[in-house]
Amino acid sequence: MITLALSKGRIFDETLPLLARAGIEVAEDPNTSRKLILATNQPDVRVVLVRATDVPTYVEYGGADLGVAGLDTLIEHTAQWGLGLTGGGLYRPLDLGIARCRVSVAVPEGFDYRAAVRQGSRLRVATKYTAIARDFFAEKGVHVDLIKLYGSMELAPLTGLADAIVDLVSTGNTLKANHLVEVERIMDISSRLVVNPAALKLKRERIRLLIDAMAAAISERECQA
């Protein structure tokens, strides 16, 4: 049995066409079913639905053989857990090029971020992405107090909790709706396929076939673009 960990939403939706190229079709729609384990048309492949931040944990500890996780999630996972209890880490064979977005710094309209940085002010920054933010500001030599949040980062500067946020931005509509402006682009994000190294050894042929089919789907998509 091959177990693939996915999170609901963009990652699930955008992984489906790549799985289809490998002949795998998920039998149930996670939006209408409450099941957490979804069968596929292949008797030896199943999908487990987990929170996006739990995908690396499931794969690393063998709860799933493979998974799809955003680069942001993988960086934060590694910073928090290192190579984990197993020490084996995660094999990352493919950038799937899906769920693309960026991690950016945003501030309220009217806040002079450049001047604050120039003057060496200490900034309060709210974010879920503390490892990414810590590295970015350390490299720039900007002093920051990081405030860890788990969601609705946009609210922090509006309530006086923080001067700035570090968050995922896709279209920029969420920032605009909350009167925030993007002042730094930290990194581009896309989702990666991650594989448990022990599973890769034990189920090599089946997993290789899956990786190769997904890689073929990605290059076909890029040729069409």
Nearer to ligand AMP, 80 or 170 (CB): 170
**Rounded to the nearest whole angstrom, what is the least distance from the CB of residue 173 to ligand AMP in the complex?**
4
3-state secondary structure of 20: helix
- 160 CB-contact burial (10 Å; exposed 0-12 / middle 13-18 / buried 19+): exposed
Nearer to ligand AMP, 121 or 190 (CB): 190
**Which residues are registered as beta bridge partners of 112?**
none
Q: Do residues 84 and 60 touch, judged by C-beta distance below 8 A? A: yes
Taking CA atoms, 199 is separated from 32, 53, 77, 203, in Å, by 31, 21, 20, 6
Nearer to ligand AMP, 16 or 168 (CB): 168
**Rounded to the nearest whole angstrom, what is the least distance from the CB of residue 55 to ligand AMP in the complex?**
12
Nearer to ligand AMP, 116 or 147 (CB): 147
- Give the C-alpha separation, 175 to 166, whole Å: 11
Residue with tokens 């006086």, as numbered in its chain: 160
**Rounded to the nearest whole angstrom, what is the least distance from the CB of residue 156 to ligand AMP in the complex?**
12
Nearer to ligand AMP, 116 or 168 (CB): 168
- Give the C-alpha separation, 116 to 93, whole Å: 41
Name the residues that contact ligand AMP, by CB under 6 A. 10, 70, 99, 101, 167-174
* Neighbouring residues of 217: CB distance < 8 A, sequence distance ≥ 6: 17, 18, 20, 21, 22
Residue 120, by phi and psi: left (phi above 0), alpha (psi -120 to 50) or beta? left
Nearer to ligand AMP, 159 or 171 (CB): 171
- Give the C-alpha separation, 135 to 121, whole Å: 18
